[in-house]
Amino acid sequence: MKFLKLSLLLLVIPISFSLNAQLQEAQLDQLIDETLKTFEVPGISVGILKDGEVVYARGRGVRSLTKNGNMNDNTLAGVASNSKGFTCFALAMMIDEGKLNWEDPVRKHIPEFQLHDSWVTENFTVRDLVTHRSGMGLGAGDLMFFPEGNDFTVNDIINNVRYLEPESSFRSKLAYNNNMFIIAGEVLKRISGLTWEEFIEQKIMRPVGMTNSKASYNRVSDRSNIIDAHTRADGKVIQIPHDWSETANAAGGIVSNVDDMLTWAKFLMNDAVTEEGERLLSKEQFHELWQLQTPLKVRPGDWYNSNFRGYGLGWFVTDVKGGFKQVYHTGGLIGTVTQFTMIPDLDLAIVVLTNQMNGSAFNTITNTIKDSYLGYEDRNWLKMYGERNAKYLKYNDSIKAEVYLKVDKIKASPILPKPDQIVGTYTDDWFGDIVISHDGQGYEIKCIRSPRLFGELLPYNATTFIAKWNDRSYDADVFVQFAFNENGKAVSASMKYIAPITDFSFDFHDLELVKTD
């Protein structure tokens, strides 16, 4: 974010889905079933498009642990960051209309936009918004929309990004950033006269033929066939509430299903021309979307013999097996992860939607299918990812167990600070107030603008406590380290996650908390 041996031969002959389809479907069904068990995922939907035809579209498992109901190709799920490709497609349509240019300064369309550095502010373009090269760190500022239930608006985000200090120089490296996409959605709104949600549904989804998809969770009226979210919490997979802030729809709000996502893939691989022959985007702008903008290093020993890798405009791009271009993205919400992959040179698309937040599941399925079309022998991704996942979970669990063992041991230690040394309000410029209180028995920590983030504050050592959030599904407990003045009173605090499994969007480490009372 266990392993079972998969002995069957999986799709080893390219293009063989059109031959002996019964056997191939049975093999893929078995792979998905084994994947469900190995990674403790309640349900998965998978779709494959080859040469313009759907050769597989099916769900396995259940869409909800409590309500049951089988997953199928029509089961809706939040596709999360796979929405980013839609945002960039929409912006490109505005370029075709002459209302926008990729090189426009953001301030041309949002005059109040301001970043930490004044020079970067003036030179920050629309292209920079959607290529993850702002200089800010991974997930910087995501706590303004993550988790759901906070009161930050798009205008708050536009106002507050000025307080996020860069970790690298402008345009020097890729660091994934959702807030810039939220601001890109506001650019679209201001120049088109439609909300992001209205534009995506009216100008893209309807013409493309994505009849069951919506631009946000709140716009889904029929929820009779939609997933519930699930996650592993305290060692057990549980069902949890849907979690996504409507503020962040331009970064990850779309709800869709396998059938509609395959329709989207077919449209894209048909050069952005609909089934009715309508071109929605010029060839020039469509070509631009899949061009490398922000490079990433290719890992040594890359499994697919890739020569390049990086981010385009709303898409990751790479080459596989030394020459086939791959355009892809993943998406993650609390309780679900998804993957969307296209290899246009092979006219191949693979869609995997899940209802549990374990990326090893979609990687297992996508890579196995992809390998079959690229001509690789079975590399048993299930076994490899299963063993790796088991070790990773064990490692994270051991870190958390060790931390809480220390918490138990230090409870009565005389070195611990007294309540009057640390209770009070701590304020961060962009996140607002965090209140630490004591009721005579123990401490409580509460984030005022994100009230679902509250819990116990447990002593760890003389200067550090643990914020143990009441919602255990977050898996995002953090160290809270206090700085004291000469009188032994806390004057500031910083946070750092306990275990690496914590989602990067819980960017507590970016907070600079100053005690204000």
Based on the domain organization, do 375 and 437 belong to the same domain?
no
Print burial letters for 402-440: b (CB count within 10 Å at least 16), e (below 16): ebbeebeeeeeeeebbeeeebbbbbbbebbbebbbeeee
Q: Please, what are the averages of pLDDT over each run of 10 residues along the chain (517 residues)?
A: 28 33 75 97 97 96 93 98 98 98 98 98 98 98 95 98 97 98 98 98 98 97 96 91 92 98 98 97 98 95 95 98 95 96 97 96 96 92 97 97 96 93 98 97 97 97 97 95 97 97 96 97
- pLDDT reported for residue 322: 79
Structure-token pair, residue 19: 């031959």
Q: Residue 249: count other Cβ atoms within 10 Å of its Cβ.
A: 26
Longest dimension (CA), the chain: 79
Based on the domain organization, do 292 and 438 belong to the same domain?
no
| Long-range Cβ contacts of 18-21 (<8 Å, 24+ apart) | 18/50, 18/55, 21/55
Strands (E) in 348-390, as ranges, are: 348-354
Task: Judge contact between 177 and 136, C-beta under 8 A.
Answer: yes
Instruction: State the DSSP code for 273.
Output: B
**Nearest one of 354, 352, 360, 348 to 258, comparing CA atoms:** 352
Residue 395 lies in a domain: no
Q: Which of 324, 350, 379 is the last residue of a domain?
A: 379
Residue 407 lies in a domain: no
Based on the domain organization, do 81 and 173 belong to the same domain?
yes
- pLDDT reported for residue 24: 80
Based on the domain organization, do 139 and 35 belong to the same domain?
yes
- CATH code for position 492: 2.40.128.50
Residue 170 lies in a domain: yes
By residue range, what is the domain housing residue 490?
417-515
Based on the domain organization, do 257 and 319 belong to the same domain?
yes
Residue 50 lies in a domain: yes
Based on the domain organization, do 274 and 201 belong to the same domain?
yes
Based on the domain organization, do 449 and 356 belong to the same domain?
no
Based on the domain organization, do 362 and 482 belong to the same domain?
no
- pLDDT reported for residue 243: 86
- pLDDT reported for residue 93: 98
Could you tell me if residue 302 is left (phi over 0), alpha (psi between -120 and 50 degrees) or otherwise beta? beta
R_g of the chain computed on alpha carbons: 24
- pLDDT reported for residue 13: 31
- CATH code for position 165: 3.40.710.10
Based on the domain organization, do 356 and 428 belong to the same domain?
no
The span from the CA of 496 to the CA of 472, in Å, is 17
Structure-token pair, residue 108: 């041309």
Element at 289 (helix H, strand E): helix 283-289
Task: Judge contact between 185 and 251, C-beta under 8 A.
Answer: yes
Based on the domain organization, do 374 and 464 belong to the same domain?
no
Q: Which of 379, 406, 430 is the last residue of a domain?
A: 379
Amino acid at position 237, single letter: V
**Nearest one of 252, 247, 210 to 84, comparing CA atoms:** 252
Residue 390 lies in a domain: no
Domain count, the chain: 2
Residue 445 lies in a domain: yes
Based on the domain organization, do 163 and 30 belong to the same domain?
yes
Q: What is the pTM of this model?
A: 0.94
Residue 462 lies in a domain: yes
Structure-token pair, residue 91: 């912006």
Burial of 245 (0-12, 13-18, 19+ CB in 10 A): buried
Residue 221 lies in a domain: yes
Based on the domain organization, do 452 and 357 belong to the same domain?
no
